[in-house]
Amino acid sequence: MNLNISQKTQNDLTDVFQPEKAERPEVPKYLQNIEAEQKEEIRERKNRKKARPLNLSEVDKQFKARQQKLKQRDAEHQKKLKDRQLQQERSHKEFLSSLPKTKHAEEVRKEAAATVKADNKLRKELLNNLRKTSPRSVNSRSKSPAGHSNFNLSEEIMLGNNGRSPPGSPNGLYSEEYE
């Protein structure tokens, strides 16, 4: 009897500590997945909606309607932008006119306007004088753009300096010393 109990406990212990054998399917899982994907793909192909032929005149009408809407929206947008800009200009002018005017600010504004007018007049006179005289041509080859025969350096300098003569040039005309 004692032997029977020990044998029974021995069998129970082997059942507990001995791992159970895992059941394996006949077809591996990855092959089952591949087959399922193929079946799903075939089913989707069969149930796919057929493409109907295009009606070109209808497609053309739709395209033109969309294009017309876009043009209209763009025109409205441009109009709104212009209106907004004009409104901002008006409000800014109103703001500036509401500011108190001082004698000093008025004098500065008049002086600035006078200098701009004088500079413009001087620039026009210098350009007219330069255009009357023949442009200076350079025959030597140079890497600078001033070396090209069709480049008038003095006119470019005059335009770049707000009509003022370059340093070292007498009476606002180009001098050979300036090179």
What pLDDT score was predicted for residue 92?
A: 94
The full DSSP string for 40-98 is HHHHHHHHPPPPPPP-HHHHHHHHHHHHHHHHHHHHHHHHHHHHHHHHHHHHHHHHHHH
| Per-range mean pLDDT, top range of 22-31, 76-85, 124-133 | 76-85
What pLDDT score was predicted for residue 97?
A: 85
- At 34-47, the pLDDT tens digits run 999 999 999 999 99
- Domain membership of residue 49 (yes or no) is no
- Domain membership of residue 176 (yes or no) is yes
- Structurally, the chain folds into a number of domains equal to 1
* CA–CA dist 155, 165 (Å, integer): 10
- Domain membership of residue 130 (yes or no) is yes
Higher pLDDT, 44 or 10: 44
- At 54-75, the pLDDT tens digits run 899 999 999 999 999 999 999 9
What pLDDT score was predicted for residue 178?
A: 44
Least confident of 37-46, 50-59, 77-86, 151-160: 151-160
- Domain membership of residue 152 (yes or no) is yes
* CA–CA dist 176, 159 (Å, integer): 19
- Domain membership of residue 54 (yes or no) is no
- Domain membership of residue 65 (yes or no) is no
- What is the CB-side half-sphere exposure of residue 130 using CA atoms within 13 A? 24
Higher pLDDT, 35 or 17: 35
What pLDDT score was predicted for residue 87?
A: 97
Segment 159-170 shows an average pLDDT of: 51
Is-contact 127 162, C-beta < 8 A? Answer: no
Tell me which residue range forms the domain holding 146.
114-179
Mean pLDDT, the chain, rounded, equals 79
Is-contact 120 166, C-beta < 8 A? Answer: no
- Domain membership of residue 118 (yes or no) is yes
Residue 124: CB partners within 8 Å, gap ≥ 6? 163
- At 94-144, the pLDDT tens digits run 998 888 878 887 888 889 999 999 999 999 999 998 888 855 554 555 566
- Domain membership of residue 96 (yes or no) is no
